[in-house]
Amino acid sequence: MRTTFILLFVLLIGGTMKTYAQAKNAIGLGLSLNTSRENSNGFGALLQGEVKVAKAVSITPYLGGEVAYGVLAGLSGRYYFSKEIYTLAGAFGHLDPDYSGFGATAGIGFIILSTRHQTLDLNFHGDYMKKGSQSTPIAGLRLIYSFSFTKLE
């Protein structure tokens, strides 16, 4: 309940800012930490792209390996409230030795460092997937370094 309140509060604050977004064409590498109620806590790594669709909107494909998912590939949409804050939502597929399937993701991200062509972003996300017949919610964070092919403001 407390986490939901904090997330909604941050989204509300972000929504009141002037939108001069920073969607970009970029490629990046990331590290992740996640946890689920099935005690599949762990870490992982991923390769992520970002394709600018509009000034405040981008599409983010990614491929990686993380504990709780095995191998995963996904596609998310990002909406930038400002240069530093964005929300994301999307879907992914996962494959591990025991179970495979699809899931959904949503989250919020913060650009914590930025130069003319590089960013470091911290992404908090919640995922929902099925492992066999069991529903599995997962909470995690990803730290992603990206190189932008276009000059950032």
**Higher per-residue pLDDT: 21 or 36:** 36
Q: Give the pair of three-digit tokens for residue 57.
A: 């909107």
Q: What is the pLDDT of residues 91-147, one digit of tens each?
A: 999 888 878 889 999 999 999 888 888 899 999 999 998 877 788 899 999 999 999
d(CA 65, CA 94): 9
22 or 104, higher pLDDT: 104
All domains in the chain, ordered by first residue: 24-148 (2.40.160.20)
**To 5 degrees, how large is the angle CA 69–CA 72–CA 76?**
115
- CA 139 to CA 145: how far, in whole Å? 20
Looking only at the bridges linking them, the beta strands covering 85-95 and 134-148 are unpaired
pLDDT for 17: 38
Give yes or no for residue 19 having a pLDDT over 70.
no
Provide DSSP, 74-96.
EEEEEEESSSSEEEEEEEEEEE-
